[in-house]
Amino acid sequence: MSDRLRGIAIVGGGTAGWMAAAILARRLGQHFGPIQLIESPEIGTIGVGEATIPPIRLFNEALGVDECDFLRQTQGTIKLGIEFRNWARIGHCYFHPFGVHGTGLDQVALHQEWLRLHQLGEPGSFEDFSLNSLAARRGRVLDFGAEPHALRAVYSYAFHFDASLYAQYLRGYAQARGVRRIERKVLRVELRAEDGFIRALHLDDGTQIEADLFIDCSGFRGLLIEQALNTGYEDWTHWLPCDRAVAVACDSAAALTPYTRSTAHRAGWQWRIPLQHRIGNGYVYCSRFISDDEAAATLLANLDGKAQAEPRLLRFTTGRRKKFWNRNCIALGLAGGFLEPLESTSIHLIQSGLAQLAAIFPDRSFDPSDAAEYNRVTIEEFDRVRDFIILHYKATTREDAPLWQYCRNMDIPEELGYRSNLFRSSGRVAVHDRELFVESNWLSIFIGQGIWPQRYDPLADLLPLDSINSHLTQMRNLIRQTAEAMPSHAGFIDAHCRAGSGRLG
């Protein structure tokens, strides 16, 4: 192939930039010219994406990273899901677990059997059928070396980690594989006169960086994708009104929990992400309904331990670029768009963009059909994640504050309305191919937020009540016993990946 790329430049050295550099170095070697990453030492990185979802393990695997080593280097912990407090109503609590709920009998889905019993007054919780939920509630995680058991296939996990340590970790990885790091500021982006493609980046030391492909990881401002290429931005504030966050780390206090917590407040929600050495916290809020000072005060009043610094303020506009791939530029991370970290999808969306880039890797001709396909797939994914997040806001019964009153009554995207109607009528989940959040995720939120279907699947009546009863009882018992046999989260960390411990420690 003669038209091969002769160089790739990445602008921005946060999580997105170093993830891109690491995986490209791993996949491409030196075949497509030098991979250079330009980061300005003056621009701080934003670490909102400290919690992840299970596909992160595929990314680690693609890099060939050892999980324990990675956890040790990033103060990482295990995450089994997210606890949502005060979302459906004040005082309410539910869990969105990773993995899937147990399996049903014959052709009937488990949740339909459960709905049938529920209608008969059986009070059990749907969460009792998720191994992840039960383990998380007990502060336990599955041991790496554990014997395979009957429920292996329903369990899943991800990580919490320190995002700046993660970026450092990936930086070491990428530099060891030939990525050149340039600590400079980009002063000017030079476009080719003939077609508006990016030709070169002019740096503050008077040098210029040329490349065939540019990856914009410069954050919200979108130095290349927006400031240079004017791609345009879709604003979703009318569906996701939060536009600021205030973040602070605090000392750990109680036992190490293997899950993220999201607590709804009057004007937004607060995250709690337990790491080995501290707890990450933040309050995502809507500035129309609360002042920055009040938000910071709310955050500081709701910490487990002592705050370790002054709270940091972040501003954002929820939405995405009209195209993630424009000409010879691909935008990743915040340069591409922003979705609040309610379902910990930020790092995943970066990863997914990179996977799609590998699947549609360009050459210098930059065939427009490649970019069109990249945008079709990535936009579809981004928009569906958006819908999933909107559901949390929409499906609330809270009326205690203007934010929640607004959300209860707002219009929602058509596809989300369709999904909600289907679930409301028969407890069924409309599924799409290649969707990040699958049936069990949607069920967790629908049921967790207290949406009740008008009826259950009529085929659930095919099974005698006794067999459903005994099936569900057995399933629940098996899940509980399995969860109780797991080691504690802290014990797990000590055994495998305590930060600062030796390789075999």
Partner 1 sequence: MLRDRISSIAILGGGAAGWLAAATLARLLKPDFCAIRLIDCTPAAAEPISVTALPSFHRLNKLLGIGEQELMQRSGATFRLGVRFIDWSLTGADYFHSFGPLGSRFDALPFHHYWLRLQQSGLGGQLADYSIATVACRQGRFARPLADRQSVLSLYSYGYHFHAAALAACLRQYAQAHGVVGIERGVSEVRLHGEDGFVDEIRLDDGSSVRADLYIDCTGASGTAPASLPGQQVWRNPRIDWSHWLPCDRAIALPCAAGGEPPPYSQASAQSAGWRWQVPLQQCIDSGYAYASGFVSDDQATATLLSALPARALAEPRHLCLSPGRPTRFWERNWLTLSGSTLEPLESTGLHLVQTGITRLLALFPVRRFSPNDIEEYNRLTIMEHERIRDFLILHYKATTRDDSALWRYCAQMSIPDTLRAKIELFRSCGRVPLLEEEHFGEESWLSVLFGQELRPTDYDPLADVAGIDVVTAAFAQLRGAICNAVATLPMHARVLEQQCRTPVEGTL
Nearer Cβ to partner 1, position 119 or 473? 119
Which residue type does 94 have? Y
To partner 1, the closest distance from the beta carbon of 429 in angstroms equals 10
Nearer Cβ to partner 1, position 155 or 382? 382
CA-based nearest residue to 14, from 34, 43, 55: 43
d(CA 283, CA 269): 6
Q: How open is the CA angle 297-298-304, to the nearest 5 degrees? A: 105
Choosing from 79, 185, 323, 394, which is the catalytic residue? 79
CB 160 within 8 A of CB 260: yes
d(CA 116, CA 134): 22
Residue 185 known to be catalytic: no
Nearer Cβ to partner 1, position 20 or 51? 20
DSSP structure class, residue 140: B
35-39 and 8-11 beta bridge pairing: parallel
What does the longest C-alpha to C-alpha distance in the chain come to? 79
To partner 1, the closest distance from the beta carbon of 460 in angstroms equals 9
To partner 1, the closest distance from the beta carbon of 330 in angstroms equals 15
Rg of the chain on CA atoms, in Å = 23
d(CA 397, CA 399): 6
Nearer Cβ to partner 1, position 162 or 457? 457
DSSP structure class, residue 265: E
To partner 1, the closest distance from the beta carbon of 208 in angstroms equals 25
To partner 1, the closest distance from the beta carbon of 66 in angstroms equals 21
To partner 1, the closest distance from the beta carbon of 349 in angstroms equals 20
Nearer Cβ to partner 1, position 221 or 424? 424
Could you tell me which residues are beta bridge partners of residue 246? 283, 313
Nearer Cβ to partner 1, position 32 or 169? 32
Structure tokens at 241: 């009104």
CA-based nearest residue to 82, from 242, 258, 281: 258
Interface positions with partner 1 (CB under 8 A): 1, 3-5, 27-29, 31-32, 107, 358-363, 365, 367, 369-370, 372-373, 376-377, 418, 421-422, 424-426, 428, 430, 432-434, 455-459, 461-462
Cα 112 from chain centroid (whole Å): 28
As a residue count, the chain comes to: 505
| Residues taking part in catalysis | 79
